[in-house]
A and B are shown apart, each in its own frame.
Chain A
Amino acid sequence: MNVLKIPSDLQSQLAHEPEYAMGYQIGRARISSGQIVRGYILNSSIFVAVSDVMRAKDDQAARISLALGLLLAGPNVTQKSAIPASERADVIELEQRPLDSLKGVVTVKSAKLRNFSAELEEALAARTGAAENAPITKTGLSEIFKRFCHFKNDFRVTSSRGLTPGTFATTAADALHVKTGMDAVHRYALPDKRPANQRFTISPPQATPLQRGIAQPAFGETGGGVEVIFIDGTPDNTVDGPEEIPER
């Protein structure tokens, strides 16, 4: 597990921003490889990836304690980390804590957002109940998932028939609602208006990490379907298909 030392210019900015809770902030850092990593920011100076800490702990307080412990113990490079060694952050976006979680607070000054006006930004903002904001859980025994795509040569499926990290799918139960490619476009609020009529079947091993959520309305679609994100992807030989379903 690696920690990220936040550059001094960003540190001074973070020090003037509100905490998420006592002693820490939560944000997303873009590291130099271009990857976005969500993590805890401790003392405005150290960034620890949430996924690194979550592998070991399930509740937030324990995760914070562990992250603090990591700081005291120093980086441990013997475990796989979401942050490659020698990386640096060039942008950090802070997450705002949901107002309804601030019990007992009389006045809350809303944070001023950067002036995004594009429709895409509204779609992104609407995704607050979506899978990427959900806690990381694990797959059950023999749990099956489906993925709908317009492309037969889906680039998220590796040559050895696994999924790359960060790939979306849905549960087999939810996929029963999808009879056509356009059903998938509506149910999972997809921006690509061509039918997502290529259906892949994913059979990950038990305890594969994932996030589960509900597709929020976006791109003129209703959403409402279950969506999951395979945080670390899936191993080789876990993806079958695609099967072609009717377009409409």
Chain B
Amino acid sequence: MENVKLGEKWRLKLTQMPESGMGYQLVDVLLADGRKLTALIVFNGEECQTETAFDPNEIADLWLHQPPARRISPETI
């Protein structure tokens, strides 16, 4: 398991998002090359655990991981 340190930009964004449990957030990460990494655990807004190593400078966006419920999104239309 890799531990990727997120930059200040993403830490600030995560500050504004709710936690998933005490001390952690579950996030999905979109990389600049189009890869999407799902359900990564982030501690303290900066320590991101991942099985797939990536360069934190290559993050295009991240958002809170959705809970396992029925999903309707443009991807599935």
Contacts and interface: CB of A to CB of B under 8 A. Distances in A.
B34 interface: no
Contacts of A10: 72-74
Contacts of A28: 66-67, 69
Interface residues of A, number: 58
A130 B63 CA distance: 21
A190 B22 contact: yes
A100 B76 CA distance: 29
B15 interface: yes
Contact of B61 (A9, A34, A94, A168): A34
Given A148-B22, A149-B22, A192-B23, A96 B15 contact: no
A27 B49 CA distance: 28
Nearest to B51: A118
B18 A165 contact: yes
B74 A190 contact: no
Contacts of A164: 15-16
B15 A114 contact: no
7 contacts: A93-B67, A114-B70, A147-B22, A151-B44, A190-B22, A190-B23, A192-B41
Interface of B: 11, 13-24, 26, 38-39, 41, 43-46, 49, 61-74, 76-77
Which 7 A-B pairs rank lowest in CB-CB distance, beginning with the nearest? A166-B18, A168-B22, A34-B63, A91-B73, A120-B39, A155-B45, A94-B70
